[in-house]
Amino acid sequence: MSLSLLKTGAIAATVLALSVTGAFAAQHGTLNYDTKLKSLPKSASLTIGWGDEGDDVVILDYTKKNGGWFKIKDYDTGDKGWVKKSAVDLDYVDDPVKPGVQFCFTGPLGYVCVNQ
């Protein structure tokens, strides 16, 4: 019983530390719809490629500016670029390279995901 409480406390402390520090762990998601890949995190920037609805992506970076943008890499094509935050579904996504249940939450500086 006490070991279970200790594990729960350690997990809670880790999650809290990640959310407070804004640590950015590699995250995985799926594109919600066909979207343009931009060279910079702004709508007026150059379109450098396309992401297709349902594509699995890894989140490389995040910025809150201009409504929130993710820098992604598409697993299928290898293309990289910036997309609006709304274009990516982060809820309980499996990493295509290392499958396993993953959960995500929003901290003060953006999304944080944890693999179990």
What mean pLDDT do residues 2-25 have?
49
- Whole-model pTM: value is 0.59
* Most confident stretch, 3-7, 73-77, 103-107: 73-77
Question: What strand order describes the sheet that includes 35-38?
Answer: 47-51, 35-38, 80-84, 69-74, 56-63, 27-31, 88-89
> If pLDDT is split at 50, 70 and 90, which confidence band does 17 have?
very low
pLDDT in tens, 20-54: 444 445 588 889 999 999 999 999 999 999 999 98
Give me the residue spans of the domains in the chain: 2-115
Is the CB of residue 37 less than 8 Å from the CB of residue 47? Answer: yes
Helix (H, G, I), strand (E, B) or coil at 35: strand
Per residue in 65-85, pLDDT (tens digit) is 777 899 999 888 888 999 999
Closest among 14, 13, 8 to 114, alpha carbons compared = 14
Superfamily covering domain 2-115? SH3 Domains (2.30.30.40)
